[in-house]
Amino acid sequence: MQLLIRSARIVDAASPFHGQLRDIQIENGLIRQIGENLEAQDGVRVLEADNLHVSTGWVDLRVLAQDPGFEHKEDLTSVCRAAAAGGFTDIALLPNTQPAIDSKGTLGYVRRMAEGQPVSVHVIAAITKKAAGEDFTDMLDLHHAGAVAFSDGHHPLQNPDLLLKTLQYLQPIDGLLMNRPEETMLTRFGQMHEGIQSTLLGLKGIPALAEELMIERDLRLLDYVMATEPATDEAGSLPPVLHFSTISTARSVELIRQAKAQGARISCDVAAHQLLFDDSALAGFDTNLKVNPPFRPADDVAALWAGLADGTIDAIVSDHTPQDAESKNLEFDQADFGIIGLETAVVSVLSQKRGLSIEQIIDKLTTRPRQILRLQPLRIDEGQPASLTLFDPSGAWTYDQTHSKSRNSPFFGHTFASRVVGIVHQGLFTKA
């Protein structure tokens, strides 16, 4: 494919063209030329748009595909199309399928099904069999089969010995453990954040303490394992070995901030929807807003934005969790948790910003996620691979249809102040 992108603002701090308005010529999957008023040859597709911005391809660290096992909710084709429409060139899939991604056979199935898709699919393999938190998988075999990280996904590791031994087991391969921090014995039957709003609505609460205790525990265990390990090498900071998924409280942000200041090899992410809603949004009992971790009070939301601004929070994720109508069209306490977010995650954050620059937000979707997953670094420069996301940070866009098989989103009919134009990846342009 030959493509000429006209007059695009380059957003890439690693690029010598960062902040500049340039034409970008792409041929056979590579950036051939960057300049001004480049001539369009015969047969070259020309792409132009108002206020066009281009960055390296966005990466989502947390996506549930529901395939294999629950393909009626989402399959690998629909999830990849939704990802491309949302501006992502790379997605990391959680292992919570049926069967779980706990063997080379299931991992191989996912990788085969992902061939030929418009986005690159990276597989996070389960730490324990069936992601049940009991018996270890063969993580070394899964690593060699292509797993980029290890996690039990939606099931937090409750047993401290499992987490400790996983960190030790992954040390020789410098592997990544991803854990969602939640002490489930404190959250049983919980429906929303425990606080004034849950009391007013008569719903059982999920205390912030359940998340914060697990972060403290995991940090102590990491310190025990890594006591003799350096935090940096000659090239700078070493990649994280422990990643906290979807943190949601001010105390969590502060614990991670302090640990990073002490050199801990950790990283963390926040779900885009956690930045947009607080627990007062549940007053209408909309089950599309039922998520875990739950929406916290406004002070916690402000702390999450502050954590993004100062670098404590490394990445923004969609936490895309497709649920069918039978799982959501129920009384609030009976409905399943989860929101689909691939198509709306980034535009929703770009539409608000809350004091962050476009460059800061894009960094949470490109450079840092790639570092966390140990993916090849990218930059917008001549001779480099053309893995790009094209977007308009000030273009209005209404979310009225989805590529996902599920519709559990609170955003249908909502108009955002930003839009995705499309992605260039693996030699192809995919329009949003």
Catalytic residues: 319
Among candidates 226, 274, 218, 252, which has minimal Cα distance to 62?
274
Among candidates 103, 35, 96, 31, which has minimal Cα distance to 69?
96
The residues, any chain, with a CB within 8 Å of residue 1's CB and separated by 6 or more, are 26, 27, 28, 29, 45, 427, 428, 429
What single string gives the DSSP state of each residue in 199-239?
HHHT--EE-HHHHHHHHHHHHHHHHHHSTTS-SEETTEEPP
Among candidates 396, 363, 320, which has minimal Cα distance to 82?
320
Query: Nearest 5°: phi and psi at 225?
Result: -75, -40
Among candidates 412, 410, 415, which has minimal Cα distance to 394?
415
| Angle between helix 104-113 and 76-85 (nearest 10) | 50
Read off the amino acid at residue 351.
Answer: S
Distance between CA 289 and CA 295 in Å, rounded?
8
Among candidates 325, 357, 361, 340, which has minimal Cα distance to 403?
340
